[in-house]
Amino acid sequence: MRALVTGGAGFIGSNLVDALVERGDDVLALDDLSSGRSANLEPARGEGARLIEGDIADSALVRELVAELKPQAVFHLAAQIDVRRSISDPGFDLRVNVGATLNLLAAAHDSGCERFLLASTGGAIYGEGDGRELPLPEDADRRPDAPYGQSKYAAEGYVSLWSRLYGLSTAALRLGNVYGPRQDPHGEAGVVAIFSRALLGGEAPRVFGDGEQTRDYVYVGDVVDAFLAASRSRAGGAFNVGTGVETSVLELGHLIGEACGVEFEPRLEPARAGEVQRISIDSGRAERELGWRAQVSLADGIAETAAHFRSGSEGPRPAG
Ligand SMILES: NC(=O)c1ccc[n+]([C@@H]2O[C@H](COP(=O)([O-])OP(=O)(O)OC[C@H]3O[C@@H](n4cnc5c(N)ncnc54)[C@H](O)[C@@H]3O)[C@@H](O)[C@H]2O)c1
């Protein structure tokens, strides 16, 4: 299958590209390398995958590229993912996460694409889970706390509209807190990567608030499998991709400490405004309709992640 993966040099995107190449797809990754790294694609490029460095918000480039490749499947993962930046510059977040999604949808439809999948978000769309029955199903109220969640929700709306208006087969995968090899340990998000790097470097990880806040952590290999399952299906709408299990930051830290062979002794700092206290998502729909459910236990996934960071394969901090 000819596949286009936007954000293919990023954490989840590059793991997905590896899996697509392994299943025999002809893969093109489009990425501006703003947070992704071309090194993430070295193994896949050795097997024939291609990387085009460019901006998904550049509609002429997207049209040209899509018209030339005629992808049968588009995996749209490129995004502005920084929640704080979405608050300080919501217009930029809107242009990248919504405007560029429209560019891609139009180009994909015009070129005869058979399946369009959007990487959406579980946590940031639903908002605070405290006081609600967890795990949340797809039809739970959407109450984003930041422009990032709102822009993903708006993008989901356009993606499903393109199905109704033009018959393009689309779906949105609402991902939980994804972790695993290649996650950026230098960013604001990605607590497993950040803790692993700190603990292996002999530093005390910072925990904001009391550490009792919970998230639904899902291993990147499971997320890749969800994209593969969704690409084989024609089911539409939104699918939660998580474990349904809440894990607190402190529990997570202790598990990472065990995997790294280091005592987890965090530095507690004041809670950050706008962080949700509890969240987990119910992936029953993905199980029923895509035949997907998370397979990797948190302990096993963390062990894989710690081994990756121990080997130093995340490389130096990107410039800028
Ligand atoms: N990591 C998570 O926990 C998580 C949770 C929910 C949803 N998601 C979604 O999954 C997708 C991938 O996230 P990730 O964690 O792999 O982050 P990432 O930053 O590693 O990947 C995003 C990729 O998109 C590229 N990119 C950004 N803006 C671009 C642009 N304008 N043009 C071309 N490329 C651009 C970046 O260089 C990067 O390679 C995103 O859409 C994100 O919103 C991630």
Report the distance separating Cα 33 and Cα 8, nearest Å. Answer: 9
The verdict on residue 230 lying in a domain is yes
Catalytic, 148? Answer yes
Report the distance separating Cα 30 and Cα 44, nearest Å. Answer: 14
Taking residues 208-236, report their average pLDDT: 97
The verdict on residue 96 lying in a domain is yes
Taking residues 293-297, report their average pLDDT: 98
The answer, yes or no, to whether any atom of ligand 1 lies below 6 A from the CB of 178, is yes
Largest CA distance in the chain: 55
The verdict on residue 155 lying in a domain is yes
Beta pairing class for 214-215 and 247-248? antiparallel
The answer, yes or no, to whether any atom of ligand 1 lies below 6 A from the CB of 55, is yes
pLDDT band, very low/low/confident/very high, at 299 (cuts 50, 70, 90):
very high
Q: Quick check: 317 pLDDT over 80?
A: no
CA 113 to chain centre: 22
The pair of three-digit structure tokens given for residue 292, joined into one six-digit string = 């997907």
Report the distance separating Cα 187 and Cα 81, nearest Å. Answer: 10
What is the residue-averaged pLDDT of the chain?
Answer: 94
The answer, yes or no, to whether any atom of ligand 1 lies below 6 A from the CB of 113, is no
Q: Quick check: 273 pLDDT over 80?
A: no
The answer, yes or no, to whether any atom of ligand 1 lies below 6 A from the CB of 83, is no
Report the distance separating Cα 276 and Cα 283, nearest Å. Answer: 20
Counting from 1 in the atom list of ligand 1, the atom nearest the Cα of 152 is 43
Report the distance separating Cα 79 and Cα 210, nearest Å. Answer: 30
Report the distance separating Cα 60 and Cα 235, nearest Å. Answer: 30
Task: Quickly list H helices, the chain.
Answer: 11-22, 42-46, 59-69, 83-88, 90-94, 100-110, 123-126, 147-166, 191-200, 220-232, 249-260, 284-290, 298-310
Whole-number pLDDT of residue 313: 62
Whole-number pLDDT of residue 80: 97
Structural domains of the chain, count: 1
The answer, yes or no, to whether any atom of ligand 1 lies below 6 A from the CB of 98, is no
Q: Whose CA is nearest to atom 43 of ligand 1?
A: 81
Q: What angle do CA 300, 306, 311 make, to 5 degrees?
A: 130
* Structural domain boundaries enclosing 59: 2-176+218-242
H/E stretch holding 268:
strand 267-269
Whole-number pLDDT of residue 320: 30
Q: Quick check: 125 pLDDT over 90?
A: yes
Q: What are the tens digits of pLDDT across the range 1-54?
A: 999 999 999 999 999 999 999 999 999 999 999 999 999 999 999 999 999 999
The verdict on residue 300 lying in a domain is no
Q: What are the tens digits of pLDDT across the range 154-175?
A: 999 999 999 999 999 999 999 9
Question: Which percentage of the chain shows pLDDT scores above 90?
Answer: 91
- Report yes or no: 309 and 179 within 8 Å, Cβ to Cβ: no
Counting from 1 in the atom list of ligand 1, the atom nearest the Cα of 13 is 16
The verdict on residue 130 lying in a domain is yes
Whole-number pLDDT of residue 185: 81
Taking residues 133-153, report their average pLDDT: 97
Counting from 1 in the atom list of ligand 1, the atom nearest the Cα of 35 is 37
The verdict on residue 211 lying in a domain is no
The verdict on residue 103 lying in a domain is yes
Report the distance separating Cα 182 and Cα 15, nearest Å. Answer: 8
Task: Give the mutation target among 11, 95, 317 for probing the ligand 1 site: most ligand atoms within 8 A of CB.
Answer: 11
pTM of the model: 0.96
Q: What are the tens digits of pLDDT across the range 186-201?
A: 766 789 999 999 999 9
Whole-number pLDDT of residue 314: 56
Whole-number pLDDT of residue 196: 92
Q: Quick check: 318 pLDDT over 60?
A: no
The verdict on residue 69 lying in a domain is yes
CATH number of the domain bearing residue 52: 3.40.50.720
Contacts 24+ apart (CB under 8 A), 257-260: 257/199, 259/196, 259/299, 259/302, 259/303, 259/305, 259/306, 260/196, 260/199, 260/200, 260/306, 260/310
Q: What are the tens digits of pLDDT across the range 45-92?
A: 999 999 999 999 999 999 999 999 999 999 999 999 999 899 999 999
Q: How far is the CA of 53 from the centre of ligand 1 (A)?
A: 14
Report the distance separating Cα 176 and Cα 164, nearest Å. Answer: 27
